[in-house]
Structure 1
Amino acid sequence: MLTCPLCSAPLSAADNGVACHAGHRFDRARQGYLNLLPVQHKNSRAPGDNQAMVDARRAFLDEGHYAPVAARLAELARERQPKHWLDIGCGEGYYTAQLAEALPRAGGYALDISREAVKRACRRAPQVTWLVASMARVPLASASCDFIASVFSPLDWNEAHRLLRPGGGLMKVGPTRDHLMELREQLYDEVREYVDDKHLALAPEGMVLAHSEVLTYRLRLIAGDSRANLLAMTPHGWRASAERRTALIERPGPFVVTVAMRYDYFVNERGAAPAAP
């Protein structure tokens, strides 16, 4: 399954890590993950979410606010019974752990470009193969995945297509235009319109939308820390003014906000796309 990020040759187990026949070797970190992100593939010294963002997301998710989102994703994955699955852009592993629990007999892989995120994710599900890697150069063989999950994550569509076997599918989970509407109304004088289906036009030829649904519920955020963590894990944490953020965090009483997610499942009907040169 694993391929070398430098030469694309297969990777095999070697001592406490993996190596390819060309001699490229990658050691397993103490936490259990493999770092398959060569320095030449980085856009910055420490790409992806930093420690503060990862910790805020972990604290918020561990309070169960998005538990229905994860539960529905796990249910949809279980219905498809994949043999090999990938969580692409896994962050700190909250949704990955739900997938691993729902698919105990399947081989699970998860990657993120943020080393800080993957370091924490390893603790959630040690049975998963955790990778620090680029979503644009996923170190997995072509047509190796039956199911790919992309939750709140940027996506390289052609790379996802390459990874999927014929008949395999991609489940993309992301916000609708109503998601966190009450929060946005508190933070901005004018709420920008959000087109939540524009990604449908990005699917490459051969990937066909086979299922779409929306999950909506209301969330009561009572503690100021929960509101602060929600802000810190979203772009609103730096887009909104400090005064508006503080007012929201310190607002008395519970703050009720809408959670609205759409699940779009795309099936690969024409075989995997060729690997990028």
Structure 2
Amino acid sequence: MLTCPLCSAPLASVDNGVACPAGHRFDRARQGYLNLLPVQHKNSRDPGDNQAMVEARRDFLSAGHYAPVARRLAELAAERAPQCWLDIGCGEGYYTAQIAEALPAAEGYALDISREAVKRACRRSPAVTWLVASMARVPLADASCGFLASVFSPLDWHEAKRLLAPGGGLMRIGPTREHLMELRQRLYDEVRDYSDDKHLALVPEGMVHDHSETLTFRLTLDNPKARADLLAMTPHGWRASAEKRAAVIDQADPFEVTVSMRYDYFVRQG
């Protein structure tokens, strides 16, 4: 199932890690994950989200603010009942753990390029095989997965297609144009509009758009910590001015925002 990130040969368990027939070996970290991201595949010393962003997202999600988003993802995963699944760009594992709970009999994998994120994700679900790895070079065999999840994550569509077995599918979750609208209106003089379905033009031949739905609800952030975490885990944490960020965080009244997510499912044809 796992493949060597250096030569693409199968990896087998050895002692406290994995190795391929060519002798490339990768040890399991103390926290439980496998680092399958060779230095030559990194674009920086520590790629991906840094510790501050990871901890802000962990605290925000653990507080339950996006619980309906994760709950619906778990329901959709359970309906498809795959034997093997992968969360691509798992972050600190909040959504991954709920997929694992919904699919107790399935073999689960999750990866992120951020070592800081995966270190924390390991605590969420010991049943999942956690990987530090590149989303553009996923160290799993061709046609090995029945279900892929991509939540708020960049996606290499052709790599996703390679990983899917015929009949398997990719569930992509991303924001609609209404997501966090009230926050964006407070942070920017002009709110940039974007198309909810622009990703459909990227879907490769052989993958069919099988399902789409939108989940929308109102969220009340009634303390400065929650508002600061939300800013820190999004691009708004560095795009908006310090003054406007502070005004949102420090306001006396609770802050209400719209959460709006689009779920799209794409099936790999035989």
Partner of 1:275: none
Counterpart for residue 173 of structure 1? 173
Confirm whether residue 232 of structure 1 aligns to residue 210 of structure 2: no
- 1:54-133 aligned at under 5 Å gives the runs 54-133=54-133
Take 1:269 and 1:8, find their aligned partners in 2: how far apart are those partners? Answer: 24
Query: What is the CA-CA distance between 1:194 and the residue it aligns to?
Result: 1.6
Report the secondary structure of 2:127's partner residue.
coil
How many corresponding residue pairs?
A: 270
The unaligned stretches of length 5 or more in structure 1 are: 271-277
Instruction: Specify the code of the residue in structure 2 equivalent to 1:129.
Output: T
Specify the alignment match of 1:212 in structure 2: 212
What per-residue deviation string (whole Å, max 9, x for no partner) do you get for residues 174-202 of structure 1?
00000000000000011001212100110
Tell me, yes or no, if structure 1 residue 254 matches structure 2 residue 254. yes
Structure 1 stretches of 4+ with a deviation exceeding 2 A read none
Aligned to 2:5: 5
Partner of 1:47: 47
Residue 153 of structure 1 aligns to a residue whose secondary structure is coil
Counterpart code for 2:5: P
Letter in 1 for 2:243: E
In structure 1, give the amino acid aligned to 2:27: D
* Cα distance in 2, alignment partners of residues 133 and 189 from structure 1: 38
- In the TM superposition, residue 253 of structure 1 has moved relative to its aligned partner by 1.3
Determine helix, strand or coil for the equivalent of 1:13.
Answer: strand
Q: Tell me, what secondary structure is at the counterpart of 2:219?
A: strand
What is the alpha-carbon root mean square deviation over aligned residues? 0.4
Q: How far did 1:250 drift?
A: 0.7
1:155-190 Cα offsets, whole Å, 9 max, x none, are 000000000000000000000000000000000011
**Shift of residue 38, structure 1, vs aligned partner:** 0.2
- Counterpart residue identity of residue 215, structure 2: L
Secondary structure of 1:59's counterpart equals: helix
Write the letter of the residue equivalent to 1:11.
Answer: L
Structure 1 residue 91: deviation in Å? 0.2
CA distance in 2, matches of 1:113, 1:235: 18
Q: Over residues 178-235 of structure 1, what are the superposed CA-to-partner deviations in whole Å (9 max), with x where a residue is unaligned?
A: 0000000000011001212100110000000000000000000000010000000000
Are positions 1:143 and 2:150 aligned together?
Answer: no
Q: Could you tell me how far 1:146 is from its partner in structure 2?
A: 0.0
2:16 matched residue in structure 1:
16
CA distance in 2: counterparts of 1:214 and 1:127, whole angstroms:
30
Amino acid at match of 2:267: V
Q: Please, what TM-score do these two structures have when normalized by structure 1? A: 0.97
- Structure-2 separation of matches of 1:49 and 1:189: 27
Amino acid at match of 1:167: G
Deviation at 1:252, TM superposition (A): 1.2
The alpha-carbon deviation at position 18 of structure 1 amounts to 0.2
SS state at 1:2 partner = coil
SS of structure 1 residue aligned to 2:248: helix
1:13-64 per-residue CA deviation (whole Å, 9 max, x = no partner) reads 0000000000000000000000000000000000000000000000000110
Partner of 2:37: 37
Once residues 225 and 179 of structure 1 are traced to their aligned partners in structure 2, the CA distance between those partners, rounded to angstroms, is: 20
Task: Identify the residue that residue 222 of structure 1 maps to in structure 2.
Answer: 222
Unaligned runs of 5+ in 2: none
Letter in 1 for 2:44: S
Per-residue Cα deviation, 1:126-166 (whole angstroms, up to 9, x for no partner): 11000000000000000000000000000000000000000
Counterpart amino acid of residue 68 in structure 1: P
2:200 — aligned with what? 200
Residue 189 in 1 paired to residue 189 in 2? yes
Identical counterparts, % of pairs? 79
**SS of corresponding position for 2:192:** coil
- Return the TM-score normalized by structure 2: 1.00
